[in-house]
Amino acid sequence: MPKNHVQIYTDGACSGNPGPGGWGAILVSGTHEKELCGGEPNTTNNRMELTAVISALQALKRPCEVTLTTDSKYIVDAVTQGWAKKWRANNWMRNNKDKALNADLWQQLLDLLEINDVTFVWVKGHAGHSYNERCDRLAVAYYLNLSKSKI
């Protein structure tokens, strides 16, 4: 049985690094769109980028063929160039002395990539890509809301 094809767009944002952060994702299947967002009060931009991808893939109800568009070179390069799998194989070490950051999230992402057929596409951030801009607005709105609730 052929897998459904889903377009996923993601972005993460952070005010300060670390600081309050948010993430946004949009899933598109045919004429249907679903927006997701979330955040954390004290996080990093890379954690929010990873969380956006993970949350979007977790929202899929069955294994899918996915085209995932992100402005995160960190994610695209780590997956497509095999870095994340090497880090896992080396017990989450980037080399002999440096630990891989965000190992907990990389593990979750690698597990999800074993379920879904994902093709990663990089787009330049803040360059007018409509879905990337929407994801950014979702992410920023979420962390701004987090910041307001602490006042």
Q: pLDDT tens digit string along 42-97?
A: 999 999 999 999 999 999 999 999 999 999 999 999 999 999 999 999 999 999 89
Closest C-alpha among 5, 19, 17, 136 to residue 70:
136
User: Is the CATH number 2.60.40.420 carried by domain 4-149?
Assistant: no
Paired strand residues for 13 = 22
Q: What is the pLDDT of residue 150?
A: 60
pLDDT mean over 21-46: 97
As annotated, the active-site residues are 11-12, 49, 71, 126, 136
**Structural domain boundaries of the chain?**
4-149
Q: What is the pLDDT of residue 42?
A: 94
Asked if 139 contacts 52 with a C-beta cutoff of 8 angstroms, the reply is yes
Q: pLDDT tens digit string along 115-124?
A: 999 999 999 9
